[in-house]
Structure 1
Amino acid sequence: MTKKIKLKDTLNEFLFNQIKNDPDYQQWSLDFEMPAFITDNLSRTLRDYQIEAVKHFIYLFESGEMQKAKHILFNMATGTGKTLTMAAIVLYLYEWGYRNFVFLVHQVQIKQQALANFTDPNFDKYLFKKQIKFNGKTTPTKAIERFEDSKRSGINFMFFSTQMLYERINHPKENSISTEDFVKNDTIIIADEAHRLNVNTKKKTEVADENNWETAVQSVLHANPKNLLLEFTATVDLKNENIHKKYKDKLVYKYDFLAFNKDGYSKQVAFLYNNETQIADQKRLLIVNAVVLSEYRRLLAEREMGVAINPVVLIKSVKIAQSEEDRAFFHKVISSLRAEDLKHLERMAEEKKDLFDTQSLMIAQMFYWLKSAKANLATTQDTTGLGAFIAHIKERFSENNTMIYNSKTKEKAELLPLLDSPKNTIRAIFSVNALNEGWDVLSLYDIVHFDISESKKVSLQDIQLIGRGARLYPYQLPKSYHRDDLFSGDNAYGTDPFKRKFDQNPNDNGRMLETFYYHFVKTGTFLENLQKDLLGEGIISEGVEKRTIHLKPKFLESQTYQKGFVLVNRQEFRSKNTQSDIDLTFNRQIIASSYKLHTHTLTDKEQNTALSTLSYKTIKISAKYFSRHLLYKALILAENGFFRLNNLKKHIMGISSIDEMIDIYLPKYDIKYGHVQGKDIDDLSAHEKLQMLIGSILPEVRKAIDKYLPIVKGSSLFTPKPLSAIFQKQKNIYLVAYPTINEQGEKTFIAPDERAKAQSSHDKEELQYAVNTADWYAYSENYGTSEEKRFVKFIASQIDKLKQTYKNAEIYLIRNELDYYLFNIEDGRRFSPDYMMIINDVQNKQMYYQCLFEPKGGHLLQKDDWKEQALINLENLSQIKFDCNHFGEYQEIKCLGFEFFNSDTKKHSEFAQGFHDKLL
């Protein structure tokens, strides 16, 4: 029996943690910017965790140690966008000279999906821009069968099932690929669902058997020193001793479903089950429940949220032979559906217990909404709206809108990749196990489990399928959604289309669009075991807990609350450029070279030798070195159209022609040109100069323009709004419990984390402080992170000094629970500082200070550095427009931002010094 390993003892030894904790990587990461040839050529934006995965790979690849990047594994949960990460790495490797990419899959439908994702520009989920451009030249993607068909200027993909690769390698035929092809051609092998590559590795001892494709893949990998194997999987059994050993130095990035869930990218998973005894009624109830919730979700999305979606229901039959019978029964139920069929759901809604009884609350909301004016279903004859609602169900779930997909019957298979399209009409799919892996659909919202046996057990397939359904369908809430004003504190909805919107509003009926339902008959211990396994995978959370805080009576009675204000700014398009903006953008040095150093092909010694032979001189982007015709051509070809006049006008106000760019702005740069002997600037051909402009100089110009002249910025003008309109008298905080590993390496469920603990009664002395009785703390309690609680204790240590400095002023610290937002003046990005302190001279009106603070854990300092700069810049960049008639006359009004508060000794002393300098 294979030995099982405790991961807690060895996880830090894995490659991904070695990289993350490497000081060299951390320093490198500070200056890293994702190459424009990646971001400009992808059809969608990389998420933070995908960027981190690509960064890990690039760092490893460019480390100069080729063998480290030769065979690596990305362990990313189902639905986290492995294919987009693959596409980003493909673009990166293309830039480094790779042209041939072999894509390995193990199922036919996954192969077809991958083929469309990577090579069909007309496919909705094509991963690249319709026109991929490198150095101004269009780069096609192409599916090929043989290396002979490879295009040197293109990105060439070969798609093989795992069995096909094995057959081609071990039984070569004429005009077919062989091992020799992989010797001659530098090749990247991308293995999807790569846990299936471990045929031999899973065995306790290696078996001398060449007849498996793990061995075939390894032979391809080692046929050429430059060949790379990039594995991607959601499933890797690191507790298996042999798997653990194999991947310890190969696991380059790990992002599990728990992290995915915590970051808000997944749907919430709910269960709707019944305990009926008659078999026909059991199945009928399951069908009714699923189609009712599905069609309610579609109508709600369309009529209240402005989102076009056709939610899919998957009916999971026990056996393939039953799929047709189950489909026939399904349509019998649909054709005979009537209002009385919804009575059991109405009873469930009436029996709701509390806010977190997900089943009953959301169903109660459904019946209320169906008869509302927003639904537009109810009439004077049918005040419940159920008649029109059932008519919608019958139309949308007609026989033309359902299909069967299993290993024997692949009806309408061409529609599988199109299910997320708003034009999709398929609403129900009948299957067994054929769609457990590799099925890319985000509009799956309901799964009906037709196994009604007493002895049914939870299978890995159940978990995989629920994980697939738990991926969030991206959507954007309309600005008008339950929202009177952008700054209204009781409307703290999320704004990221790819994340959940209602974590702080769990009783909002819009949550239906980010809730997945699993429908089944509750028998035996099935539900308990299912929940246990899903908790273990991080697919569901332990539950939701509510904490309530309220503004203290003394604060409500204060002048600050009743007559005070907060200073707010808005997002706006760039309307002018200051001389400082122009200087920062163009009066810069750019290091350029016609010589490209590919570190992955050279040793450190060779790199140093090559660099030592470079000579440097300073040149200008001017007629002396570059002809006008050449500059025109470079500006047209570089950076995917960034330098076209229509785009430049959005960044550089008043520019009227490309000639101005050439004559006024580009000559401001100093170009430090590095060259080898015989490649001085005057020795270069026109083509070489063009390539240097496109490949080295203009990408740096673009970076500077993006950074210092962004199209969108935050207004520097701040205007007052009544403080009482921003901060709610009572605020609910919703906290989710997630699994965690305790000191013994066991998985436990903490409900929930530090934010659940009140600071006034905290069990740790270093975090405990009686904010509930502090006259300067506005809310009744502080449920913050440990860093936030340390910040409050810091303010407590300074409050007497503040009162001495600002005699007779009202001083209040207010926890900002997504009530107040600030737009970064430089680039318009929105964020919500954690704390606001008001210092209000109510008697003499000498001053009114709004002070904004952000306590920040060490792991976020680098990522959120832009927020810190936005806060620090407020004092110098903000201008305040004020109506004295409404808010009173003050001699001095300031909007102050401070460095991040962090309890690390060095960072803490910097914050304390800044606090003292600005306020004391």
Structure 2
Amino acid sequence: MSKVNKISANVRQFPLVDQAEQAEVDLFSQHQGYVIPEYIDANLIHTLRNYQNQAIGNYHYTQTHLKPSPQHVLFNMATGSGKTDLMAGLILYLYQEHNYRNFLFTVNTNSVLMKTKDNLVSKSSDKYLFQDKIEIDGKRIFIKEVERFPRIQEANTIYIKLSSVQKVSDDLFVLKENTMGLADYENQPVAVLADEAHHYSASTKSEKEAENTWESAINKILRARDDKEQKNLLLEFTATVDFDKETIYNKYRDKVVYLYPLNKFMYDGYSKQVKRIETSANDKDKMLNVILLSQYRKYFAYAQGVTGVFKPVIMFKSPKVAVSLEANKTFNELILNLNVGDLISFIKHQQLLDSNDSSALQLAYNYYLQNEDKLANIVREIKHDFDPRNVLNANDTSGNILEKGQYKALNTLESPNSLYRVVFAVAKLTEGWDVLNLYDIVRIEQEALANKKATMIEAQLIGRGARYYPFELNGQKSYKRRFDGETSNKQLLLETLHYHTMNEPQYLKQLVGALKQMDLPTGQDKKNPPIEIKVKSAFKKTDVYKTGKIYYNEAEDVADEWFDSIEKYGINHKTDIYRSLNYGSREVSYQASVETVETKTIGIEQFNDRYIKKAIQRLEFYQFDNLKKYLPLLRSMKDFIYGKNWLNAGNLKLFLTIPKEYKSRDITADEILKVTIDLLKEYEVKFKSGYVKKRGTNKFVGYPISEYLSNYNKRIPEYDTAALSNESTQKVAVYDMAEDFYVYDRAIVNKLEFELIERIKAHVSELKHKYNKAVYLFRMDENMHRESIKSEKLKLHQYGLRINRAGEKVDVHLQGFQPDFILFLEDSEFYFQIFIEPKGMSGERFVSELWKQDLLLYLTDNQDKMEFQDDEKNVRISGLKFYTKDDSQKTLEQLFKMTEIKGINDEPDGLF
């Protein structure tokens, strides 16, 4: 892709995305503050991630706030980002909110179809995405796989038909018995979930005539009920769509409802890192290298405390089936003939090669040579682990892959019961394969092509292999990278996919180009020793370093005895309950949008404790044994329903906001019950989030600067591909820091952080004029004390914080956080410690971090509520708004006012 084309793709406009995002932050929009319904997460195996919730939120906006609501939308989301989890959530959403019962899942390959069958309808599969028991509003919901949607449908049932797009097209255009023709899609509303949707734009792309019928078939289904009130829907999903082509962009411009590109997915930490090992070694030597690395990766994992089964998988990618079969034979012979002497000779020879600069391989070599006395056992273990029985060749003589038994083996590789460590496959293995514990991909050179098409296939395969493996560490799983920024080797070996390829300039140029085109961030796995960051000797001689302190608030244990009432969970429960009746879909006597309906509030005389009891019966959370987990002082259900500290049901009165023309008798018992159920579901969320075992306090403790500001090591992340999200602010580099106000000799920071340092530097002289004893900027990098438990002390925790400056309720976040910078000021009267946190992100990630900003501003607004030790009266602690690019939030203006120096109009000419 040319530079011009790339730029044009980045500036493409997608109105649905823009409108939904604007509505999310618009205080006057009814969509503002929309929360994904609780029943979605409650009925899925996996808790949806923030970006998946945002995708559902965007779709909800299009279906409830746009008239007419779009029938056809596209979710353009990265490989590995959990599109099938999102589909499962959307199925529940469309069933409950829009009364869709029939869902057609379609895709162009049988391999993806079989995988999705496991995901959506096969309850016995380890990959099934729904809970065994699906329950919404107290009703059991059933999922049934069908070949044809039944004319007479059972209550509380979701019907799912899974079919290839080829078969859907054939059934539509060729009349046959017991197949779904166009009339079936006309009779009942259907929501089509079209995966790998880039294959359905063949006619748009003017490609081969045979595929033209696919797009035509899907469009016929979509339009089949256009004359009816409830229409058919089409939800497309793909990671690959070429918006640079005008025809494709014009087709999808008004249909894209959510964008989550691969580079953002990887930047957000939901994938492995990707490193290339570029080598001149022949295929056989590459095989032995990757065996040694994979086995060392396994040993390293267990040494670091990884629990459960850790089984790193290798994939050998060949251009042709015959080549793959031959490579498989060579591999088996290599394992059979492996011995200690040859292994030692091989490692020592590899270490002598100038071309072998791989950091990961050097770690493996050193391990084996340092354990030479154990090599006999290690060789036996290698022979056992890589025995031919543990090698899977995903090819047959016809070139088909992912079929029958091979499909099952390939899609259960991370299962503890699977013994496979190696997969041999051709380059077609790009869609439908979501193995997580793939750590090494090796390019077999024999007959391999180095053209643009071949390297793009490789790049797509790397993207799939980069999916994060949620291994257990000390009994805990994580679904995001844990070790970003660490100087240890944990990230390199436990959170990195290595692609072993050839060191040939023209090929590498094309591969890097393909990776850039995909925005897939990778770099060479070359030796990258950490850089030592030192505290300046001049600063060590100052009184600030010798006797000064930095202050953070303490966290305290919360005893069960504290949870003695409903208010302790952040629930403002009053005897007079005010709710709105959901009357949006009901007919009124005049045509008007919901927003303009005149309303009134009336008391509901028929409301009593029976509605509370009935709602509790329908909600599984409120079974006493479960409720007791979150309300430890609860004595009985009677106590919960009638106790004055809890629901106090005997004294509750319900008031409903309803359309002005409604009368009390218009309110049905079912509507009152639904309002009650919704209320208790909101309380359920509060009970779960409010039952916490630690919380912040207003007690601030000073920690000696000399103990906590110390020399530390840090690596610079190196990537040579992809335009990372916000690259202009996020790219990390090392800078020499000669100025005395910065206490370290160097700074390893991103561009946004460096911009902040430079802007503060421009006003140091003014600060020194007022704060004549000390003006220092501390970089609080967690690397400087990562291995020390005491680093947990250097974190801020929320305390006394329920309402922010805008008067909005703030969710409680138990995890502490360490702002990146502290501006330390001292004059003859007091210490002044100001926390500063740069934030280069935007959109959803920025919003998810705003609780940190609320805490920083709370410090500033509540100085009088802080408590210090008796000898620490002259301490002032404040926080600033997030510092963003070009100071868009006017953070420095806040700083200048706080420190009472001028400067907002005195920026030097030409600064940024």
The alignment's TM-score, normalised by the length of structure 2, stands at: 0.82
Within the candidate set 695, 707, 724, 2:706 is matched to 724
> Equivalent residues in 2 for 1:595-634 (5 A)?
595-598=582-585, 605-608=591-594, 611-612=597-598, 614-618=599-603, 625-634=606-615
Alpha-carbon shift at residue 311 of structure 1 (Å) = 1.7
Aligned residue in 1 for 2:411: 417
Q: Secondary structure at the match of 2:499?
A: strand
Aligned residue in 2 for 1:551: 535
Within the candidate set 358, 361, 366, 2:359 is matched to 361
Check if 1:700 corresponds to 2:674. Answer: no
Alpha-carbon shift at residue 284 of structure 1 (Å) = 2.6
> Equivalent residues in 2 for 1:66-465 (5 A)?
66-67=68-69, 69-96=70-97, 97-148=99-150, 150-203=153-206, 212-225=213-226, 226-272=231-277, 274-275=279-280, 282-307=282-307, 308-343=309-344, 346-347=347-348, 350-351=351-352, 359-370=357-368, 378=371, 382-383=372-373, 385-406=374-395, 407-408=399-400, 410=403, 411-453=405-447, 456-457=450-451, 458-465=454-461
Query: Could you tell me how far apart the structure 2 residues matched to 1:341 and 1:610 are?
Result: 82
Alpha-carbon shift at residue 651 of structure 1 (Å) = 5.1
Query: Could you tell me how far apart the structure 1 residues matched to 2:625 and 2:767 are?
Result: 52
> Equivalent residues in 2 for 1:588-737 (5 A)?
592-598=579-585, 605-608=591-594, 611-612=597-598, 614-618=599-603, 625-638=606-619, 640-641=620-621, 643-645=622-624, 648-649=627-628, 654-663=633-642, 664=644, 665-667=646-648, 671-675=654-658, 686-694=669-677, 696-705=678-687, 713-732=695-714, 734-737=716-719
CA displacement, residues 100-148 of structure 1 (integer Å, 9 cap, x when unaligned):
1110022222111101111233422222222222112222222111111
Structure 1's 412 and 722: CA in aligned 2 closer, same or farther, altered over 3 A?
A: same
Contact 1:572–1:715 (Cα < 8 Å) also in 2: no
Contact 1:79–1:471 (Cα < 8 Å) also in 2: yes
Structure 1's 413 and 31: CA in aligned 2 closer, same or farther, altered over 3 A?
A: closer
Aligned residue in 2 for 1:492: none
Contact 1:560–1:840 (Cα < 8 Å) also in 2: no
Check if 1:851 corresponds to 2:834. Answer: yes
Q: Secondary structure at the match of 2:478?
A: coil
Within the candidate set 706, 726, 733, 1:756 is matched to 733
Contact 2:483–2:490 (Cα < 8 Å) also in 1: no
| Percentage identity across paired residues of the two chains | 27
Contact 2:532–2:714 (Cα < 8 Å) also in 1: yes
Structure 1's 558 and 422: CA in aligned 2 closer, same or farther, altered over 3 A?
A: farther
Higher mean displacement: 786-795 or 115-124:
786-795
- Structure 2 residue identity aligned to 1:123: S
Structure 1's 913 and 661: CA in aligned 2 closer, same or farther, altered over 3 A?
A: farther
Q: Secondary structure at the match of 2:593?
A: helix
Q: Secondary structure at the match of 2:382?
A: helix
Contact 1:191–1:231 (Cα < 8 Å) also in 2: yes
Q: Secondary structure at the match of 1:666?
A: coil
Contact 2:20–2:62 (Cα < 8 Å) also in 1: no
Query: Could you tell me how far apart the structure 2 residues matched to 1:248 and 1:335 are?
Result: 57
Query: Could you tell me how far apart the structure 2 residues matched to 1:748 and 1:652 are?
Result: 43
CA displacement, residues 512-531 of structure 1 (integer Å, 9 cap, x when unaligned):
12222233455573233223
Aligned residue in 2 for 1:519: 500
Higher mean displacement: 94-103 or 265-274:
265-274
Aligned residue in 1 for 2:790: none
Contact 2:315–2:424 (Cα < 8 Å) also in 1: yes
Query: Could you tell me how far apart the structure 2 residues matched to 1:263 and 1:310 are?
Result: 25
Alpha-carbon shift at residue 439 of structure 1 (Å) = 0.7
- Structure 2 residue identity aligned to 1:565: K
Structure 1's 822 and 202: CA in aligned 2 closer, same or farther, altered over 3 A?
A: same
Alpha-carbon shift at residue 298 of structure 1 (Å) = 2.0
Aligned residue in 2 for 1:537: 518
Structure 1's 197 and 429: CA in aligned 2 closer, same or farther, altered over 3 A?
A: same
Aligned residue in 2 for 1:279: none
Alpha-carbon shift at residue 242 of structure 1 (Å) = 1.5
CA displacement, residues 405-441 of structure 1 (integer Å, 9 cap, x when unaligned):
2345744432222112233211122222452211111
Structure 1's 578 and 660: CA in aligned 2 closer, same or farther, altered over 3 A?
A: closer
Structure 1's 370 and 637: CA in aligned 2 closer, same or farther, altered over 3 A?
A: farther
Check if 1:59 corresponds to 2:57. Answer: no
Alpha-carbon shift at residue 234 of structure 1 (Å) = 1.4
Query: Could you tell me how far apart the structure 1 residues matched to 2:36 and 2:449 are?
Result: 52
- Structure 2 residue identity aligned to 1:557: K
- Structure 1 residue identity aligned to 2:471: Y
Higher mean displacement: 289-298 or 704-713:
704-713
Query: Could you tell me how far apart the structure 1 residues matched to 2:329 and 2:427 are?
Result: 19
What is the alpha-carbon root mean square deviation over aligned residues?
Answer: 4.1
Contact 1:267–1:500 (Cα < 8 Å) also in 2: yes
Alpha-carbon shift at residue 683 of structure 1 (Å) = 6.5
Alpha-carbon shift at residue 294 of structure 1 (Å) = 1.8
Higher mean displacement: 778-787 or 178-187:
778-787
CA displacement, residues 292-328 of structure 1 (integer Å, 9 cap, x when unaligned):
2222222222332314321222223443345444433
Contact 1:101–1:188 (Cα < 8 Å) also in 2: yes
Aligned residue in 2 for 1:772: 738
Higher mean displacement: 646-655 or 111-120:
646-655
Query: Could you tell me how far apart the structure 1 residues matched to 2:333 and 2:206 are?
Result: 49
Q: Secondary structure at the match of 2:155?
A: coil
Q: Secondary structure at the match of 2:613?
A: helix
- Structure 1 residue identity aligned to 2:220: S
Check if 1:812 corresponds to 2:789. Answer: no
Alpha-carbon shift at residue 856 of structure 1 (Å) = 3.6
Q: Secondary structure at the match of 1:824?
A: coil
Aligned residue in 2 for 1:482: none
Query: Could you tell me how far apart the structure 1 residues matched to 2:17 and 2:582 are?
Result: 34
Aligned residue in 1 for 2:509: 528
Alpha-carbon shift at residue 673 of structure 1 (Å) = 0.9
Alpha-carbon shift at residue 877 of structure 1 (Å) = 9.4
Contact 1:7–1:239 (Cα < 8 Å) also in 2: no
Structure 1's 636 and 26: CA in aligned 2 closer, same or farther, altered over 3 A?
A: same
Aligned residue in 2 for 1:565: 549
Alpha-carbon shift at residue 578 of structure 1 (Å) = 9.4
Contact 1:352–1:361 (Cα < 8 Å) also in 2: no
Structure 1's 233 and 784: CA in aligned 2 closer, same or farther, altered over 3 A?
A: same
Contact 2:442–2:499 (Cα < 8 Å) also in 1: yes
- Structure 2 residue identity aligned to 1:866: W
Aligned residue in 2 for 1:873: 858
Higher mean displacement: 216-225 or 421-430:
421-430
Aligned residue in 2 for 1:18: 18
Q: Secondary structure at the match of 1:33?
A: coil
Structure 1's 499 and 345: CA in aligned 2 closer, same or farther, altered over 3 A?
A: farther
Contact 1:737–1:753 (Cα < 8 Å) also in 2: no
CA displacement, residues 462-499 of structure 1 (integer Å, 9 cap, x when unaligned):
222121112221235449xxxxxxxxxxxxxxx99233
> Equivalent residues in 2 for 1:895-910 (5 A)?
895-902=877-884, 907-908=890-891
